[in-house]
Amino acid sequence: MDKKTLHIIKVGGQIIDHPDVLSGFLDQFALLEGPKILVHGGGKLATRLAADLHIPQQMVEGRRITDKDTLNIVVMVYAGLINKQVVAQLQGKGCGAIGLCGADAGIIRARKRTHAAHDFGFVGDVASIDAGVLEGLLEQGLSPVIAPITHNGEGQLLNTNADTIAQEMAKAMSVHYHTVLIYSFEKAGVLLDTEDETSVIPSMNQAAYQTLKESGKIFAGMIPKLDNAFQALEAGVGRVVIGPAEQLQDLVAGSKGTSIVA
């Protein structure tokens, strides 16, 4: 029997911060047929709440340290406010959304990050995904909405990168489904000229990527996303698309954004 197609869609923080754009994106997500999972980022609200509560944000090598107070804030904002507002909106649009963090139903287990020189605090790297439980929810007609919070399986919540969650989930779900992974954000896709939103590269394979990367034509901030995309394809994901959240339906159809192919 052919595998069903599963769409796993990551939506970035900047979309979360704009209610009108988010609502339009959620309209399109609600209309998408078949099994689907939404992974959302954090947005600026956690930073604002930390400032309002006078909780100092410590940075090491450009990365935020997740101390105990900061962990509580990201759990409240990501797994609480943002997750539940998105779920309530999707429910209002007729989508059977169910909001979860990685601890719920044990779907994402992570390991606290260790580093020789620095302690990044309560930051988790994905260790395993329970694809069976997610399949059970999808088969019940539910659409998981995942907040970027995980757990270590021993009672500790951890802060985890949403892009990585989407990627690891897509890889794990590829055993059960033909999986399409979509990174949707505020950009038109992978651009040849970062100043020109019309310079989208419609499709890119590994060879083309290496050539562009070596010639310095890929924006540095995009490189980790693309490295991850190719790694996902190698691990069994069917297709990876990077493009604008406002045109989700076109990303699914493959007519907008950048399609990453093996």
Which residues bind to a second copy, rule: CB under 8 A?
52-53, 72, 75-81, 83-85, 87-89, 91-93, 96-101, 103-106, 133, 136-137, 140, 142, 149, 151, 153-157
- Determine the residue type at 248: L
Tokens of residue 95, six digits: 């989508």
| Interatomic CA distance for residues 241 and 36, integer angstroms | 15
Q: Is 149 helix (H, G, I), strand (E, B) or coil?
A: strand
| CB 46 to a second copy: min, Å | 10
Cβ closest to a second copy, residue 51 vs residue 253 = 51
DSSP 34: S
Cβ closest to a second copy, residue 72 vs residue 199 = 72
Cα Rg of the chain, angstroms: 18
| Interatomic CA distance for residues 179 and 191, integer angstroms | 24
Cβ closest to a second copy, residue 39 vs residue 252 = 39
Asked if 64 contacts 55 with a C-beta cutoff of 8 angstroms, the reply is no
Contacts 24+ apart (CB under 8 A), 192-199: 192/217, 194/219
Cβ closest to a second copy, residue 77 vs residue 245 = 77
Kindly give the residue spans of alpha helices, DSSP state H, lying in 59-205: 68-74, 83-92, 131-139, 162-173
Q: Is 98 helix (H, G, I), strand (E, B) or coil?
A: strand
| CB 99 to a second copy: min, Å | 5
| CB 7 to a second copy: min, Å | 19
DSSP 238: S
Cβ closest to a second copy, residue 7 vs residue 151 = 151
| CB 74 to a second copy: min, Å | 9
| CB 31 to a second copy: min, Å | 16
Cβ closest to a second copy, residue 18 vs residue 93 = 93
| CB 98 to a second copy: min, Å | 4
